Amino acid sequence: GAGMVTSYINRMNGKEPVAFYDDRLSDILDETYGTMVYQEQVMQISMKMSNFTPGESDSRIRKPVAKKKIKMLTDQIFHWEGNGADETIYDHWINGAVENGYKKEVAQRIWDDVLEFASYAFNKSHSAGYAILVMQTAWLKAYFPKEYMASVLTSYMGKTEKIVHYVTAYRREGVAILPPDINESGRDFTATPDGVRFGFAGIRGVGEAVGEAIMAERDRAGEFRDIFDFVNRMDSGSANRRVVEALICSGAFDSTGYTRMQLMRLVDKNNPDNIIDAATRKQKIRATGQVSMFDMFAGVEGAGFEETNPEPDGVEWDRSVKLSREHEVLGLYVSDHPLRPYAYALAKARDYSLSDIEVSTEVTDSAGGVHEQFKVPEGKVLRFAGMVSAIQKKTTKNGDPMAIVTLEDMEGEVTLVIFPKLYKKCAATLAGEVDPETGEAAGDVFVKVSGKLERSDRGNQVICMEVEPLVLNDRTNRPKVLEINMPASSLTRSRMDDLGRILAAYPGLDHVEVRVESVSGDVMRMELPCTVDARNMVLLAEVTDAIGRAGKVLVA
């Protein structure tokens, strides 16, 4: 299966010797370095080694193996034309090989490998077609990365988990994922000079039809100046209040200079002067063919009918509210992430990021077998940290309360299983601060947990043993040195300029030391002529971004 692909690559590159099961099969396996890659090769081996007819090799080997019908292969009795015997497919494979002078152990090993690789194998023509497609998409990704990534994200429109997965991957590769924009977004994800722009169809409450109507109006009369221009030009039937609110919360009007909080006040139905109702009234009057006094004299200076719109006031929601509403309509955080200022605190409180749970590699054991090895092991007590995004309260058969919690960080999420005894201890921590007036949770809940990871067909989950609040800014243990480690290859003038600007923005009492490692391993230490507040999580996050993936930030 996947192990044969690894073996094929190693043999092709001279890292593993080419070996055939039996030299008599070399004419079948020579082009693939002794490995079975194509379905046709299995059929040819069955005919040459075990006396299967062409029809038998297709109906009794290729088809059942591909569909993993193991009982058909080992239990079902068939009549065979060649020797007139009535026996199972397995017996015919082994007996035929022995009759033709092949060792039984060799026939058995080939049989085992056939069963293992079955679900991965394709016929040769399909393999060639897929190879061409892979090369084409690899070429597109290499030379048109933004266009390629926009297409991939569009293909998963509406599948939030997939979108989050690819957005995280593309951000790691340095491609910015931009929020929707009323004048730049298309229906789908689109490539721009600055990154990949979120499409209208991906905004909950907007959809494809409205997105196409917005684009058509842009094509007809040009870009929208602001939200006032938008509601007056767009048909109120399609661009209704729900649509406009979703556009605001997604960030689609951010480029017009108004904050999302101010725009939501302007469209609030409880506001008697809200611009949605005003635009709807104007459109109804125009639909009757009448001309209002406002329309007649609006262009006449000094007539008193000039349309006056409020100027941007710069007052915005609290950061957590802004991002929460953005998440509601986009399904993910795009403009920022609630955890970004606390990246350093998260890194200190965990053994792995949540995205690491999905990471795996193929490894070869001492016997030559290949298997998948995950970066995050199962059954071992590990630490994770992040933000609580959902809590599902349940009751055991004994009537005891427990909880299923979704924990997320900036790169992924995982399900936490919290059984009654622990839930009793940590219920208050999971609930977070409560608004005394509404009784609802106030603000985000950040926790660190320890537990054992379990993988299954239903997904990954952590069986928790401990849940504690995550201390985001620890003032009691003040660091003394902010240590910035970078390889010499990352030491560019622009990067150092960015670093200097960031450090200057967070003055404090703590020293800064830069350590640059050369290719030979020599380390040069420099203490910078500035002091910073090294406990500031925003500073640590910005420095981490500035120095790139090859660098590392420590506080000593």
Of 133-142, 419-428, 452-461, which gets the smallest average pLDDT?
452-461
Range picked from 374-383, 438-447, 517-526 for highest mean pLDDT = 374-383
What the block records as the tokens of 539 is 């500073």
Distance CA 418, CA 423 (A): 6
Within its chain, how far is the Cα of 219 from the centroid? 33
Of 218-232, 304-318, 488-502, which gets the smallest average pLDDT?
304-318
- Confidence band for 454, pLDDT divided at 50, 70 and 90: very high
Q: How many CB atoms lie within 10 A of CB 35?
A: 23
pLDDT beyond 80 at 87: yes
In Å, what is the CA distance from 109 to each residue of 21, 327, 447? Answer: 8, 53, 51
pLDDT at 315: 87
What the block records as the tokens of 264 is 């939501």
pLDDT at 362: 75
List, as one string, the DSSP characters of 43-72. HHHHHHHH---HHHHIIIIIHHHHTT-HHH
Hey, what amino acid is at 292? S
pLDDT at 306: 56
pLDDT at 300: 53
Q: Which residue segments constitute the domains of the chain, with CATH numbers given? A: 2-126 (no CATH), 144-301+313-330 (no CATH), 341-469 (2.40.50.140), 481-555 (no CATH)
- How much is the mean pLDDT over the chain? 87
**SS3 call for 136:** helix
What the block records as the tokens of 538 is 């925003």
In Å, what is the CA distance from 113 to each residue of 72, 368, 372, 373, 471? Answer: 17, 12, 16, 20, 52
pLDDT beyond 60 at 296: no
**SS3 call for 110:** helix
Share of the chain above pLDDT 90, in %: 50
pLDDT beyond 60 at 305: no
Strand partners, 190: 197
Strand partners, 404: 392, 417
pLDDT beyond 70 at 466: yes
pLDDT at 519: 79
- Confidence band for 373, pLDDT divided at 50, 70 and 90: confident
Question: Which carries the bigger pLDDT value, residue 546 or residue 520?
Answer: 546
pLDDT beyond 90 at 204: yes
**Orientation of helix 319-330 relative to helix 241-250, angle to 10°:** 120
List, as one string, the DSSP characters of 181-192. -TTT--SS-EEE
The DSSP element (H or E) to which 239 belongs, if any, is none
Show Cβ contacts of residue 521 under 8 Å, excluding neighbours closer than 6 positions.
Answer: none
- Residue whose C-alpha is closest to residue 446's, from 554, 348, 552, 331: 348
Question: Which carries the bigger pLDDT value, residue 485 or residue 67?
Answer: 485
Extract long-range pairs of 364-373: CB within 8 Å, 24+ residues apart.
364/3, 364/6, 369/3, 370/2, 370/3, 370/6, 370/7, 371/3, 372/2
pLDDT at 480: 73
pLDDT beyond 70 at 179: yes
pLDDT beyond 60 at 90: yes
Query: Per residue in 325-352, is it b (16+ CB within 10 Å) or e — as a string?
Result: bbbebbbbbbbebbbbbbbbbbbebbeb
Per-residue pLDDT of 23-58, as tens digits, reads 999 999 999 999 988 889 999 999 999 999 999 999
Per-residue pLDDT of 16-29, as tens digits, reads 899 999 999 999 99
Please give the average per-residue pLDDT across 334-363, as a whole number. 84
pLDDT at 83: 80
What the block records as the tokens of 242 is 């729900």
Residue 391 main-chain phi, psi, to 5 deg: -130, 125
pLDDT at 99: 94
Per-residue pLDDT of 321-345, as tens digits, reads 899 999 999 988 998 888 877 777 8
pLDDT beyond 60 at 297: no
Strand partners, 487: 517
**Residues 228 and 309 sit within 8 Å (Cβ to Cβ):** yes
- Confidence band for 438, pLDDT divided at 50, 70 and 90: low
